[in-house]
Structure formats: structure tokens, C-alpha cells
Amino acid sequence: AQTVTQSQPEMSVQEAETVTLSCTYDTSESDYYLFWYKQPPSRQMILVIRQEAYKQQNATENRFSVNFQKAAKSFSLKISDSQLGDAAMYFCAYRRLRDSSYKLIFGSGTRLLVRP
Amino acid sequence: GAVVSQHPSRVICKSGTSVKIECRSLDFQATTMFWYRQFPKKSLMLMATSNEGSKATYEQGVEKDKFLINHASLTLSTLTVTSAHPEDSSFYICSARGMFGTRDEKLFFGSGTQLSVL
């Protein structure tokens, strides 16, 4: 069975600084998707970034980028120039490529605090 | 962008009553909808997957008779918590999968429902 692990329950970053959130996963599949979702206090889940496992290039979305290490099964999220609005729970998620149901497996989450 | 509307956002009910939560895709057809449960400061746990016009697929450990799911149309899925008890109190989130073009498939989340059973 696939599992997703986020070992940092909480992280703190100074506004305008950079922070990296860690995620590791376990799977025997070779093709899959990885995601980072943000859940602000409103509790609305928001997709931050997506990575296809078959792509070697790391995905980027403005201030958000990932470090995808397939062999190590690691998928960290880097937030540059942190803003107060980045404060939220961040969930790493996994989905099998050949899963037609689009079922996501979530990690336990990391709470990000941004200090002004 | 595509929106998923979940209603109600908050509900308080007495023990033993049933509560229905609706999840609607507002501007796209959702071939599949998912229901999650989230305990305080915890991750999202998938409860069931529903496809329009067919029976829902429940995850292991989720009581089918307790959590009734109906996906009657391509834009509406409902979760009914039957004979609710305090241990059913939780945050419930739906998500909907839609196809936008031949290979552009996306997943959108509702804003969640906080259920409190007294």
C-alpha cells in the first residue's frame, strides 16, 4: 500500500525568508502524481503544485517549487519570499497514475507559521 | 475557475438524528466525487468514492449503513450521516473530479462541513 509521510508537524519562517517542507512516500509504482495542497484557516483545500513522476524537471509555480527525488522517494516543497498569507496547513499527497478514480493519499500535514 | 459548493458549512444536531451534506459542482460535470473526513489537526481520510449512477465504493472501516452516499447526477453528491452520535462529529470535505478537454483532468474541493453531534 502507498503511504505518505510528513515528518514536520510544524514549521516557522520569517516573512520574506525561504522555507522547505519535507515529504516522503512509499510506493512500488513507477508512474504516479505528487501534489502539495494548502489548507488555510478557512479550511478550503487549495492545490499549490503538482509533479508527474515521469518528469525529471522539478515543478515550479511562482514562489513555490519542489525538489523531487524519485529514487529517494522524496518530494519537498520550497516556499520563497514567504508571505503572511502562506500561513496554513500544507499536505503532501500521492496518486497512482493508473488509478482512474483519482484517489488521493494524504500525508499528516505540516503547519506553517509565518512570523512578521 | 471551477467551483465546488458544499452545504451546509456547519451543522449541529442531536444524537440519533440524520444529517445530509450536499456537494455540487457548479460549472462542470463531476464524473467522480470523493468524501473525506478530517479530525482536528489531522489529515484527510478518504471515506468513499462515488461515481454518478452507481454505488459508492467505501474505504475499509467505513460503515456503509452509517454514511449513505448518493451521486444521483453529474453535479450533485450527498452524504447522509444516519443516526448520528457524538463520535461522528468531525469536519467532512467533498471533492469533485472533472474533465476539461481531452486530457486535462482536475480535482476541486468543497469548503467543508463541520458536524457537531450533541
- Cα radius of gyration rounded to whole Å, chain A: 14
pLDDT tens-digit map of A75-86: 999 999 999 999
Query: If you average pLDDT over residues A84-104, what whole number do you get?
Result: 88
Which A residues 54-73 touch B at CB under 8 Å? none
Say what percent of chain B tops pLDDT 90. 67
- Measured between alpha carbons, how far is A77 from A75 in angstroms, rounded to an integer? 7
Residue linked to cell 471551477: B2
Please calculate the CA angle B8-A95-B106 and round it to the nearest 5 degrees: 55
Query: If you average pLDDT over residues B68-97, what whole number do you get?
Result: 93
Partner-chain contact A101 B44, CB within 8 Å: no
Within an 8 Å CB–CB cutoff, is residue A1 touching chain B?
no
Q: What is the pLDDT of residue B91?
A: 95
Using the predicted structure, report yes or no on whether residue B31 has a pLDDT greater than 90.
Answer: no
CB-based contacts of A27: which residues, under 8 Å, 6+ apart? A2, A73, A94, A96
Residue pairs between chains A and B whose CB atoms are closer than 8 Å: 43
Please calculate the CA angle B90-B66-B73 and round it to the nearest 5 degrees: 90
pLDDT tens-digit map of A27-73: 998 889 999 999 998 888 999 999 999 988 999 999 999 999 999 99
